[in-house]
Amino acid sequence: QSALTQPASVSGSPGQSITISCTGTSSDVGGYNYVSWYQQHPGKAPKLMIYEVSNRPSGVPDRFSGSKSGNTASLTISGLQAEDEADYYCSSYTSSSPYVFGTGTKVTVL
């Protein structure tokens, strides 16, 4: 099972909005509504930010939102803040495995 494809890096200024894409196939992202997104700060464990494409766990700011179109899922961060600078990973259920992760995206706040 190949990793889902994400851009290596995305940057934005404080207050701006950024979108991270996550591209898979009809056997994973496109075939199921089980896409999740994780935030990871250096030296820390990943933190779940979005599950089942667009649901936010309790405590996650509503600046974070998720969506999906076809084989591509997206994470949007609105009103970018300094503490949003981190690595972000998408994940999806697949026809052959409960989880496959994306390649990861480094978000830089300028």
Partner 1 sequence: QVQLVQSGAEVKKPGASVKVSCKASGYTFTSYDINWVRQATGQGLEWMGWMNPNSGNTGYAQKFQGRVTMTRNTSISTAYMELSSLRSEDTAVYYCAIVVVPAAMISGMDVWGQGTTVTVSS
**Residues of the shown chain interacting with partner 1 in the complex, contacts defined by CB under 8 A:** 1, 3, 34, 36-38, 40, 45-48, 50-52, 55, 57-58, 89, 91, 93, 96-104
Cβ of residue 3: shortest distance to partner 1, in angstroms?
7
In whole angstroms, the minimum distance from the beta carbon of 41 to partner 1 comes to 13
Distances (CA, A) of 65 to 1, 28, 37, 74: 26, 20, 10, 8
- Cβ of residue 70: shortest distance to partner 1, in angstroms? 20
6: which 2 tokens?
A: 């994400």
Q: Cβ closer to partner 1: 18 or 102?
A: 102
Among residues 37 and 64, whose Cβ is nearest to partner 1?
37
Cβ neighbours for 54, distance < 8 A, ≥ 6 positions apart: 65, 66, 67, 68
Instruction: Please tell me the distance from the alpha carbon of residue 99 to that of residue 97, in angstroms, as a whole number.
Output: 5
